[in-house]
């Protein structure tokens, strides 16, 4: 991985070409090339320094240890002779490391800090190791703090305890401090002070839990009450139940104020950070996916969890690479951390490897402590970020039909019945029995034909029967599936409207445990038809203009709004007609998803539709990655695992809301964008089901060039309102019948191999407005749900990869790669929520800027820049 920079960066061009090498000239030329800066940065310099520090550490250790045995004799000589004599003369000393050993040890012990001098050996040792390995194995800043404390505390304590001893246990420092404190607060006071300091250090380090025995204390809640999980769900300043605050959470900044707990604005405490377990370098990348949820992440809280706060950056540069705050309390499943080779991205094969991390024992203990669940863990509740959200109430909707029970005029029934019997008799078809079921729009007459009558004969007479009954919209179902009967549907003279309100109030809907329950309408037997969109899993709707499509879409959307919390569901609304779905603008911050940087969440422009569909494909791919890493097969399993806190948010895991894409006029899009729209739709329809992305596509023109084979094959659930021809009906349903519907929400639903006639639930525009207003007036997220960014290849293609044309995200990408020291495209995708292509392009640009090495196939690229300061320099030079 590591590269020798002097070798690679040496500019060849400086050598005079075609001139016979003259050793003198060459010597002169070469010298200025080794700049001091480069020398300081050079890896070899670091290694040499590392060896020097290690030897220093060993030297001091031997000298100090030898001093413990020889100090009496040597001390005399050190006192007796001047430094010059001691160092240059030929005085004999007993220290194993000679005069220098004796001199150094004497100064460290006697004139310095006594036995605490050994801390210097440790200090030199950790510096040496860090230099030699070329990365932070030991945390220097933390160790310096401990060493400084140790020097003062140990020297003072030793001086206090052994104040009469000849050996300089506390050294000059310990004696001086001891003398001063004893004079100032007395010996007892000094003893107490030392005890307090010692205990404070122990408490600070190990954070003992002092439980009061009698009081039953609630098991500690996960720290995640503060960091990403809740950072994503609780706005800064949002009150949290005071009882929920835990020592750990308290430590992370939760404050109690008048019985409620307030999350303070971002406070970044390095000690807190250190007490969190470190993450694998590769795992750090996984934070990347959080930005999608970051739509919810209150800015004031976010820095607590994510690298990048100003304060933290200072800390980072100071300590070279201080790690991110570790994970919160979650139950981690380690087996899934095996190296995985990601699928081919189309840009390059990207590797996802686990790199070894260097942990000291202390860190390991911290990590284990954090991973192990401490007592029962409360499930994560995604709705907590909008905990006061109120579901819309039924009184926002209207009852459109006063009569709850549909009563059909008995004379009309009798008349129709007789007419059916007479008509059939004319064709020599006798019947055994006839019964009628009165539905909202049509009445179903069920006929049991006499023995020996062939059903196909009745079917063939469909038109004649319709003519004799002189009623429009007659549909013959021969036989009714599952029954040995023949059905004749005759439109009612007086139709009743099926109010959405009635459907939503029904027990079936209220008690439904479906993922995405949609109240579509009423069957002919007045049974409510409530289906699970998640199981459908997509819906294709067609119908001539004015037959009830828009009302149908509203009914679907409103039913979902009545059942789902904003955290569980997001809509992507595509409305080329610009007016149909505009009402939903009010719920943008609750239920809508949009592309980053877009003003309007409701998409009306074809180009933006293409971008959005591709962004959804990226979201789908990202979700698949998450599912794979979580070892789950679908969104349901994944979310269960996430809510049980078995998935680490710092690895990019997040609660996945369902996403429902609604396209109100598909024909329009296909006409203007063709394959560009068809392909992502087909891809989503094929694959998105398992990751909770569902499509509702509506069109006025159900012709074969709009509803192509690819689309049709992936939409098993289809709805047809009245269409103008039998061909259209066949295109949408694979069967005729929709042309005979009577309009106004009369529809056929083909689902699970069954064809059901329904009267679509009716919801009027003012009702939708009421519901949208009701939701819109409540507190929402800061912004709409952000989809991943998608950049059209066409927008960037043709541009050369010169540094002048750098991607706007170039710097950010460079930071990500250098901080993580992992040159992987998937890291960029995840961390920055980018598509494959853009991340790949960024990687190429990083290569052009010599920040990463060349593509190495399935392995991650080498990162050529090791530190952020080095990167900053490169970036400055690029400007
Ligand atoms: N389920 C229903 N019950 C009763 N009436 C309905 C129903 N659906 C639609 N209608 C009536 O039909 C009219 C037209 O419906 P809608 O606006 O939904 O048609 P559309 O198919 O969307 O038309 P377009 O394609 O032109 O937008 C409505 O204004 C309403 O009066």
Per residue in 4-34, pLDDT (tens digit) is 333 433 344 444 444 444 444 444 444 445 5
**Ligand 1 site-directed mutation target among 520, 551, 576, most atoms within 8 Å of CB:** 551
pLDDT class of 526 with cuts at 50, 70, 90: confident
628 has a pLDDT exceeding 60 = yes
CB of 760 sitting under 6 A from ligand 1: yes
The predicted structure's pLDDT at residue 265 = 34
CA distances from 431 to 76, 417, 473 (A): 130, 12, 23
Are 679 and 669 in contact by the 8 Å Cβ rule? The answer is no
Q: Is the model more confident about 233 or about 69?
A: 69
Pocket test for ligand 1, best of 492, 548, 557, 722 (most atoms within 8 A of CB): 548
Question: In the 8-state DSSP scheme, what is residue 260?
Answer: E
- 482 vs 347, more confident: 482
Q: Is 546 annotated as a binding residue?
A: yes
- Residue with structure tokens 């960024």? 842
The CATH number of the structural domain formed by 793-878 is: 1.10.10.10
pLDDT band at 719 (very low <50, low <70, confident <90, very high): very high
- Please report the pLDDT score of residue 572 as a whole number: 94
Question: Is residue 203 over pLDDT 50?
Answer: yes
- The alpha carbon of 743 and the centre of ligand 1 are apart by a number of angstroms equal to 8
Q: Which residue has better confidence, 500 or 270?
A: 500
pLDDT at 509: 93
Structure tokens at 519: 């109240």
Domain boundaries along the sequence of the chain: 5-40, 42-206, 223-383, 410-491, 536-738+763-785, 793-878
Measured in angstroms, how far is the CA atom of residue 624 from the centroid of ligand 1?
38
Tokens encoding 92: 């004999």
Taking alpha carbons only, the member of 776, 118, 869 closest to residue 390 is: 776
Q: What are phi and psi of 727, to 5 degrees?
A: -60, -45
83 annotated as a binding-site residue: no
Kindly tell me the burial class for residue 8, based on how many C-beta atoms sit within 10 Å of its own C-beta (0-12, 13-18, 19 or more).
Answer: exposed
Instruction: Report whether CATH 3.30.470.20 matches the domain 410-491.
Output: no
Atom of ligand 1 nearest to the CA of 721: 21
The band of 547, judged by pLDDT with boundaries at 50, 70 and 90, is very high
Q: What's the rounded Cα separation, in Å, for the pair 834 and 618?
A: 8
Q: Do β-strands 717-720 and 539-542 pair in parallel, antiparallel, or remain unpaired?
A: parallel
Listed in order, strand segments (DSSP E) in 50-137 are none
Our answer on whether the CB atom of 546 is closer than 6 Å to any ligand 1 atom is: yes
* Closest by Cα among 583, 590, 570, 600 to 770: 583
Backbone angles phi, psi at 112, to 5 degrees: -115, -110
* Least confident residue range of 155-159, 227-231, 451-455, 836-840: 227-231
| Confidence category of residue 721, pLDDT binned at 50, 70, 90 | very high
- In this prediction the pTM is 0.54
In tens, the pLDDT along 399-440 reads 886 545 555 678 888 888 888 888 888 888 888 888 888 888
User: 469-498 burial, b for 16+ CB within 10 Å, e for fewer?
Assistant: bebebbbbbbeeeeeebbbbbbbbeebbbb
C-alpha dist (Å) from residue 605 to 265, 542, 671, 682, 696: 39, 21, 13, 20, 18
Residue with the smallest CA separation from ligand 1 atom 30 is: 744
Element (H, E) at 473: none
Residue 407 Cα to ligand 1 midpoint, Å, equals 24
Atom of ligand 1 minimally distant from the CA of 762: 1
The answer to whether residue 511 scores a pLDDT higher than 60 is yes
pLDDT of residue 205: 73
The pLDDT confidence band at residue 548, using thresholds 50, 70 and 90, is very high
| Percent of the chain whose predicted confidence (pLDDT) is above 70 | 72
Atom of ligand 1 nearest to the CA of 495: 4
765 lines ligand 1 (CB under 6 A): no
CB-count exposure of residue 583 (10 Å: 0-12, 13-18, 19+) = buried
With a 6 Å cutoff on the Cβ, whether 200 touches ligand 1 is no
Distance, CA of 240 to CA of 384 (rounded, Å): 10
Question: Do 322 and 139 meet the contact criterion of CB atoms below 8 Å apart?
Answer: yes
Q: What is the ipTM of this complex?
A: 0.97
pLDDT classification of 505: cutoffs 50, 70, 90: very high
Instruction: Report the atom number in ligand 1 closest to the C-alpha of 547.
Output: 21
Q: Can you tell me the distance from the alpha carbon of 283 to that of 651, in angstroms, rounded to the nearest whole number?
A: 6
Interval 493-501 mean pLDDT = 87
Residue 218 CB-density burial (10 A; 0-12 exposed, 13-18 middle, 19+ buried)? exposed
Question: Which ranges of 575-674 would DSSP assign to H, the alpha helix?
Answer: 588-591, 606-630, 635-643, 666-673
How many angstroms does the Cα of residue 545 sit away from the middle of ligand 1?
Answer: 8
- What angle, rounded to 10 degrees, do the helices at 836-848 and 825-832 form? 120
Query: What is the average pLDDT value for the chain, to the nearest integer?
Result: 74
762 Cα: distance to centroid of ligand 1 (angstroms): 9
The residue among 390, 397, 395 whose CA lies nearest residue 779 is: 390
Longest dimension (CA), the chain: 139
Q: Which two tokens stand for residue 792?
A: 């059209």
**pLDDT surpassing 70 at residue 101:** yes
Residue 648 · residue 327 · CB < 8 Å: yes
How far is C-alpha 346 from the chain's CA centre? 23
Answer whether 497 contacts ligand 1 (Cβ < 6 A): yes
406 CB-near residues (< 8 Å, 6+ apart)? 438, 439, 440, 496, 526
**What is the number of residues in the chain?**
879
Q: Report which protein residue has its CA nearest ligand 1's atom 11.
A: 744
**Does the C-beta of 238 come closer than 6 Å to ligand 1?**
no
pLDDT at 539: 93
Contact assessment for residue 577 and residue 665, using Cβ atoms and an 8 Å cutoff: yes
Nearest to 359 by CA among 133, 87, 138, 672: 138
Mean pLDDT of the 470-488 span: 76
Residue 543 annotated as binding?
yes
Pick the CATH number of 536-738+763-785 from 3.90.940.20, 3.10.440.10, 3.30.70.870, 3.40.50.300: 3.40.50.300
Under DSSP, is residue 489 helix (H, G, I), strand (E, B) or coil? strand
Establish whether residue 762 lines the binding site of ligand 1, counting it when its CB lies within 6 angstroms of any ligand atom. Answer: yes
With 70 as the cut, is the pLDDT of residue 538 above it?
yes
pLDDT, tens digit, 9 for 90 and up, residues 143-181: 888 889 889 999 889 888 887 777 888 888 888 888 888
How far is it, in rounded angstroms, from Cα 519 to Cα 683? 27
* For range 135-147, the mean pLDDT: 81
Please tell me the predicted confidence (pLDDT) of residue 541. Answer: 93
Question: Is 699 a pocket residue for ligand 1 (Cβ < 6 Å)?
Answer: no
Q: How far apart are CA 175 and CA 702, in angstroms?
A: 94
Q: Are 246 and 207 in contact (CB under 8 A)?
A: no
CB atoms within 10 A of CB 527: 13
Cβ pair 795, 253 in contact under 8 A = no
On the 0-12 / 13-18 / 19+ scale of CB atoms within 10 A, 208 is exposed
Per-residue confidence at 804, pLDDT binned at 50, 70, 90?
low
Give the pLDDT of residue 606.
85
More confident residue, 321 or 186: 186
E strand segments, 373-438? 431-438
pLDDT of residue 95: 83
Q: Identical fold at 410-491 and 793-878?
A: no
Contacts of 583 (CB under 8 A, 6+ apart): 765, 768, 769, 772
d(CA 808, CA 194): 56
C-beta of 551 in contact with ligand 1 (< 6 A):
yes
Tokens at 145, concatenated: 């703090």
Listed residue (289, 376, 283) closest to 326, CA to CA: 283
Q: Which residues of 414-434 are buried (b: 16+ CB within 10 A; e: fewer)?
A: eebbebbbebbeeeebebeeb
Find the distance separating the first CA and the last CA of the chain, reported in whole Å.
28
Bridge partner residues of 693 (DSSP):
659
User: Is 170:160 a contact under the CB 8 Å cutoff?
Assistant: yes
């Amino acid at each position: 991985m590591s590269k020798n920079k002097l070798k690679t960066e040496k500019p060849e061009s400086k050598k005079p070409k075609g001139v016979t090498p003259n050793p003198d000239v060459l010597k002169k030329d070469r010298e200025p090339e080794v700049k001091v800066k480069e020398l300081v940065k050079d890896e070899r310099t670091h290694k040499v320094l590392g060896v020097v520090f290690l030897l220093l550490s060993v030297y001091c250790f031997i000298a100090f240890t030898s001093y413990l045995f020889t100090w009496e004799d040597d001390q005399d000589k050190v006192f007796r002779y001047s430094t010059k004599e001691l160092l240059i003369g030929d005085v004999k000393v007993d220290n194993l490391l000679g005069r220098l050993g004796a001199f150094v040890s004497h100064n460290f012990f006697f004139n310095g800090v006594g036995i605490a001098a050994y801390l210097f050996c440790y200090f030199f040792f950790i510096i040496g190791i860090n230099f030699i390995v070329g990365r932070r194995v030991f945390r220097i800043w933390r160790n310096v703090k401990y060493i400084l404390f140790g020097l003062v505390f140990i020297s003072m304590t030793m001086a206090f305890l052994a104040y009469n001893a000849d050996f300089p246990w506390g050294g000059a420092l310990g004696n001086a401090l001891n003398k001063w404190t004893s004079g100032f607060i007395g010996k007892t006071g000094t003893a107490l002070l030392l005890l307090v300091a010692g205990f404070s250090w122990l408490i600070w380090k190990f954070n003992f839990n002092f439980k009061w025995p009698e009081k039953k204390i609630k098991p500690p809640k996960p720290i995640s009450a503060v960091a990403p999980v809740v950072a994503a769900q609780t706005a800064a300043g949002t009150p949290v139940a005071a009882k929920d605050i835990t020592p750990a959470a308290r430590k992370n900044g939760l404050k109690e104020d008048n019985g409620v707990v307030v999350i303070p604005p971002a406070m970044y405490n390095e000690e807190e950070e250190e007490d969190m377990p470190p993450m694998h370098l590769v795992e750090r990348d996984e934070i990347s996916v959080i930005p999608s949820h970051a739509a919810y992440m209150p800015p004031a809280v976010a820095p607590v969890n994510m690298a990048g706060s100003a304060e933290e950056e200072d800390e980072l540069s100071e300590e070279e690479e201080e790690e991110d705050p570790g994970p919160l309390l979650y139950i981690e499943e380690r087996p899934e951390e095996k190296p995985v080779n990601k699928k081919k991205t189309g840009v390059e094969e990207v590797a996802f490897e686990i790199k070894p991390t260097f942990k000291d024992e202390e860190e390991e203990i911290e990590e284990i402590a954090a991973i192990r669940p401490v007592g029962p863990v409360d499930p994560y509740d995604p709705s907590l970020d909008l905990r006061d959200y109120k579901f819309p109430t039924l009184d926002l909707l209207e009852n459109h039909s006063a009569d709850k029970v549909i009563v059909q005029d008995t004379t009309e029934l009798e008349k129709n019945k007789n007419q059916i019997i007479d008509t059939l008799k004319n064709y020599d078809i006798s019947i055994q029995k006839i019964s009628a079921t009165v539905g909202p729009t049509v009445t179903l007459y069920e006929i049991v034909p006499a023995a020996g009558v062939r059903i196909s004969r009745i079917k063939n007479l469909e038109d004649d029967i319709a003519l004799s009954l002189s009623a429009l919209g007659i549909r013959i179902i021969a036989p009714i599936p599952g029954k040995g009967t023949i059905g004749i549907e005759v439109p009612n003279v007086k139709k009743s409207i099926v109010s959405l309100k009635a459907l939503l109030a029904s027990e079936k809907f209220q008690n439904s445990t479906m993922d995405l329950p949609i109240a579509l309408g009423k069957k002919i037997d007045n049974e409510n038809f409530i289906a699970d969109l998640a199981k459908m899993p997509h819906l294709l709707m067609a119908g001539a203009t004015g037959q009830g499509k828009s009302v149908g879409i509203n009914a679907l959307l409103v039913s979902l709004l009545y059942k789902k919390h904003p955290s569980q569901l997001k809509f992507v609304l595509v409305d080329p007609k610009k007016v149909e779905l505009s009402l939903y603008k009010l719920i943008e911050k609750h239920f809508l998803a949009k592309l980053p940087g877009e003003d309007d969440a409701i998409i009306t422009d074809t180009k933006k539709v293409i971008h959005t569909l591709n962004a959804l494909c990226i979201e789908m791919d990202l979700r698949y990655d998450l599912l794979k890493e979580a070892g789950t097969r679908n969104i349901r399993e994944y979310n269960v695992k996430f809510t049980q806190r078995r998935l680490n948010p710092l690895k990019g895991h997040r609660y996945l809301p369902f996403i429902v894409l609604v396209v109100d006029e598909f024909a329009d899009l296909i006409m203007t964008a063709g394959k560009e729209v068809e392909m992502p739709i087909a891809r989503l329809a094929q694959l998105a089901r398992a990751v909770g992305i569902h499509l509702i596509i509506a069109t006025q023109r159900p012709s074969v060039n709009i509803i192509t084979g690819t689309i049709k094959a992936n939409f098993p659930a289809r709805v047809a309102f009245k269409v103008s021809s039998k061909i259209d009906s066949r295109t949408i349903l694979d069967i005729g019948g929709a042309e005979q519907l009577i309009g106004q929400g009369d529809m056929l639903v083909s689902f699970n191999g069954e064809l059901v006639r329904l009267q679509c639930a009716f919801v009027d525009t003012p009702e939708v407005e009421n519901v949208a207003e009701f939701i819109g007036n409540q507190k929402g997220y800061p912004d709409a749900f952000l989809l991943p960014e998608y950049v059209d290849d066409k927008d960037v293609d043709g541009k050369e990869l010169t540094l002048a044309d750098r991607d706007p995200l170039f710097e950010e990408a460079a930071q990500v790669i250098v901080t993580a020291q992992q040159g992987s495209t998937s890291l960029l995708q995840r961390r920055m929520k980018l598509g494959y292509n853009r991340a790949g392009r960024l990687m190429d640009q990083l290569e052009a800027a010599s920040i990463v090495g060349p593509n190495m196939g399935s392995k991650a690229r080498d990162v050529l820049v090791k530190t952020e300061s080095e990167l900053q320099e490169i970036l400055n030079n690029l400007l």
